[in-house]
């Protein structure tokens, strides 16, 4: 027996003597970071036009960036429910934020991860109304949470106000759990759910002045007239509209003599600041507001002023987020965890940064149907660079179960991404995605719709309920989705193909709308 063989045999014998817990330790940890309303246009590894996000880009640089990453239902609670269950909204039951309560007694990925020997923890935004189930540790924001001195609900169901800026505190809690609260002999999955960058984009005070010198380019479709798109005409998410984007709440042009629709909400939010911090905050925005009121902007000038304010404040909130991504990565490195941990970064959906003249999300159009998805891969997972297969947020649950070596239950509707992370490109990978949005009537007035999007660049959408409107887009020729081809001459064949695919997906996913 040569030296090498005897060593290998010794190794194998040693391995078989290891207790189950130590064996389990060989499995990858998972740190799943999800933000709110962070869109790929505002992440420099996806789009360099607006901001630089060096720490987020680090995740992609040491791993992969998904270029065709989508959600199943572009809204917070539903998106979280899809992620936790690996199922479309009609199956997990949480179809919309308003009036929904997540049924925490159902099968969820965190519960299955626990059964597979993983410790599970979540900190930050939860937004599913019922309290978390399937987590060994949790500390969550009530509903949307607050940016300044936010309250958290602990496992005793006490709501406790904490000092500081929400993005920093959520990260502190995540690091504290990894460092002090978990059992270091077992693998873990930690969900870090940031409130950033949700409306109304309140910056960390140290970044108040950031981006003030920057003028953001106006998107090509900012002055879209929504011709041929009935549902796009009916929405209430226009930056130019003072009803949709509130001058006080959203753009922070507060005037004590002017009461807007959302002034009370705004004053509640900034009222959480200490008086010293409030003075700093007011000093900054008051001078902008006084100048703004003196200019009496109208029409295009007003719309573009609001766009700049929106972009700047969103970018400031993002800056704190990027810092905290850096802190999380640095902690993992310093704790010796980085090489054995899959780090996933995504958002609950994409967002409009002025495209079509909008903010918010909901539509199956690209900006809000897509969501950023990058992963830092542990040693052993070989994929690098861009991955262009179509993926969806129902895929995260089966992926994590696969990584844990657990069985993926047959009722899970997503696909494991593990083959893609290994660098494989399975020939039979899905060629289309299904989407269904339900929250109507509701804020922002986006009509109910479902649709199909295909890997070869076509999209068919049906808006329904108090409307019956179909839209068809060729993304290869019309990436901004301005030209609705539905019913146009020459599109009969492709419409038929997409309609068939849509019905096939509705059947496959067992969506009752199809019956
Ligand atoms: C709040 C916001 C909306 C936003 C929804 C859903 N209004 O209701 O603008 O679309 O959340 O967002 S606000 O006046 O309360 O800010 S989600 O990301 O949580 O789904
Ligand atoms: Ca969101």
3-state per-residue secondary structure call for 463-498: EECCCCEEEEEECCCCCCCCCCCCCCCCCHHHHHHH
Task: List, as ranges, residues with CB under 5 A of the ion ligand 2.
Answer: 36-37, 76, 348
Q: Is 360 in the pocket of ligand 1 (CB under 6 A)?
A: yes
- Cβ atoms of 196 and 162 closer than 8 Å: no
For residue 267, what are its two tokens?
């004053």
**Among the listed residues 45, 315, 96, 353, the one whose alpha carbon sits nearest the alpha carbon of residue 196:** 315
Q: What integer pLDDT is reported at residue 99 of this predicted model?
A: 74
Which residue's alpha carbon is nearest to atom 18 within ligand 1? 76
Q: Is 146 in the pocket of ligand 1 (CB under 6 A)?
A: no
Q: Tell me what percent of the chain is helix, strand and coil, each rounded to the nearest 5.
A: 35, 15, 45
* Gap from CA of 310 to ligand 2 centroid (Å): 16
Q: Is 199 in the pocket of ligand 1 (CB under 6 A)?
A: yes
CA–CA distance, 463 with 127 (Å, rounded to integer): 26
Using the CB atoms, write b or e for 478-498: b if 16+ within 10 Å.
Answer: eebbbebbbeeeeeeebbeeb
Bridging pattern class, strands 448-454 and 137-141? unpaired
Which is the closest atom of ligand 1 to the Cα of 359? 9
Q: Is 34 in the pocket of ligand 1 (CB under 6 A)?
A: no
Which residue's alpha carbon is nearest to atom 15 within ligand 1? 199
How much is the pTM? 0.95
Which is the closest atom of ligand 1 to the Cα of 360? 10
Q: What integer pLDDT is reported at residue 10 of this predicted model?
A: 43
CA–CA distance, 281 with 400 (Å, rounded to integer): 42
Low-confidence ranges of the chain (pLDDT < 50): 1-25
Using alpha carbons only, give the angle 119, 125, 127 rounded to the nearest 5 degrees: 105
* Gap from CA of 378 to ligand 1 centroid (Å): 35
**Among the listed residues 384, 409, 389, 387, the one whose alpha carbon sits nearest the alpha carbon of residue 397:** 409
Q: What integer pLDDT is reported at residue 375 of this predicted model?
A: 98
Which residue's alpha carbon is nearest to atom 16 within ligand 1? 199
Q: Is 200 in the pocket of ligand 1 (CB under 6 A)?
A: yes
Identify any residues that bridge with 342 across adjacent strands, giving them in sequence order. 30
CA–CA distance, 13 with 299 (Å, rounded to integer): 77
Phi, then psi, of 471 in degrees rounded to 5: -135, 140
Q: Is 143 in the pocket of ligand 1 (CB under 6 A)?
A: no
* Gap from CA of 15 to ligand 2 centroid (Å): 45
For residue range 107-150, what is the model confidence (pLDDT) as tens digits? Answer: 999 999 999 999 999 999 999 999 999 999 999 999 999 999 99
Q: Is 37 in the pocket of ligand 1 (CB under 6 A)?
A: yes
Q: 3-state DSSP call for residue 437?
A: strand
Which residue's alpha carbon is nearest to atom 8 within ligand 1? 443
For residue range 392-409, what is the model confidence (pLDDT) as tens digits? Answer: 999 999 999 999 999 999
Q: What integer pLDDT is reported at residue 11 of this predicted model?
A: 39
- Cβ atoms of 266 and 254 closer than 8 Å: yes
Q: What integer pLDDT is reported at residue 515 of this predicted model?
A: 64
């Amino acid at each position: 027996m040569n030296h090498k063989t005897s060593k290998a045999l010794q190794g194998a014998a040693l391995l078989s003597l290891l207790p189950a817990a130590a064996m389990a330790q060989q499995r990858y940890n998972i740190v799943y970071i999800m933000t709110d309303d962070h869109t790929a246009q505002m992440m420099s590894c996806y789009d360099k036009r607006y901001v630089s996000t060096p720490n987020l880009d680090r995740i992609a640089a040491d791993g992969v960036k998904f270029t065709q990453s989508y959600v199943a239902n572009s809204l917070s609670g539903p998106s979280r429910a899809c992620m936790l269950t690996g199922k479309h909204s009609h199956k997990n039951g949480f179809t919309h934020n308003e009036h929904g309560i997540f049924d925490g007694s159902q099968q969820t990925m965190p519960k299955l991860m626990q059964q597979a020997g993983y410790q599970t923890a979540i900190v930050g935004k939860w937004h599913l109304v019922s309290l978390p189930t399937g987590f060994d540790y949790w500390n969550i924001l009530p509903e949307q949470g607050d940016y300044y001195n936010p309250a958290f609900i602990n496992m005793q169901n006490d709501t406790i106000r904490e000092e500081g800026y929400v993005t920093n505190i959520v990260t502190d809690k995540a690091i504290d759990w990894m460092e002090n609260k978990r059992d270091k002999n077992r693998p873990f999955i930690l969900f870090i759910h940031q409130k950033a960058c949700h409306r109304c984009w309140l910056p960390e005070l140290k970044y108040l002045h950031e981006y003030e010198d920057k003028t953001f380019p106006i998107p090509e479709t900012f002055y879209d007239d929504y011709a041929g798109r009935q549902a796009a005409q009916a929405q209430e998410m226009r930056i130019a509209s003072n009803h949709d984007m509130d001058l006080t709440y959203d753009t922070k042009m507060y005037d004590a003599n002017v009461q807007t629709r959302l002034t009370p909400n705004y004053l509640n939010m900034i009222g959480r600041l200490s008086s010293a911090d409030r003075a700093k905050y007011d000093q900054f925005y008051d001078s902008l507001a006084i100048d703004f009121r003196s200019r009496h902007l109208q029409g295009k000038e007003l719309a573009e002023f609001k766009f700049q304010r929106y972009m700047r404040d969103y970018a400031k909130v993002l800056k704190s987020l990027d810092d905290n991504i850096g802190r999380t990565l640095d902690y993992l490195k310093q704790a010796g965890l980085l090489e054995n941990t899959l780090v996933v970064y995504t958002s609950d959906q994409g967002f409009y940064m002025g495209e079509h003249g909008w903010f918010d999300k909901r539509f199956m159009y690209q900006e809000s149907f897509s969501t950023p998805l990058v992963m830092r891969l542990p040693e052993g997972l070989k994929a690098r660079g861009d991955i262009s297969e179509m993926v969806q947020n129902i895929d995260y649950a089966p992926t994590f179960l696969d990584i844990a070596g657990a069985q993926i239950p047959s009722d899970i509707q997503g696909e494991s991404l593990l083959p893609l992370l290994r660098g494989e490109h399975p020939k039979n990978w899905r060629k289309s995605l299904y989407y269904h949005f339900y929250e109507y009537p509701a804020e922002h007035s986006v009509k109910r719709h479902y649709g199909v999007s295909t890997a070869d660049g076509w999209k068919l959408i049906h808006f329904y309920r108090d409307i019956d409107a179909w839209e068809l887009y060729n993304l290869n020729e019309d990436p901004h989705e301005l030209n609705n081809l539905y019913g146009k001459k020459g599109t009969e064949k492709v419409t038929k193909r997409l309609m068939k695919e849509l019905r096939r997906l509705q059947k496959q996913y067992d969506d009752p709308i199809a019956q």
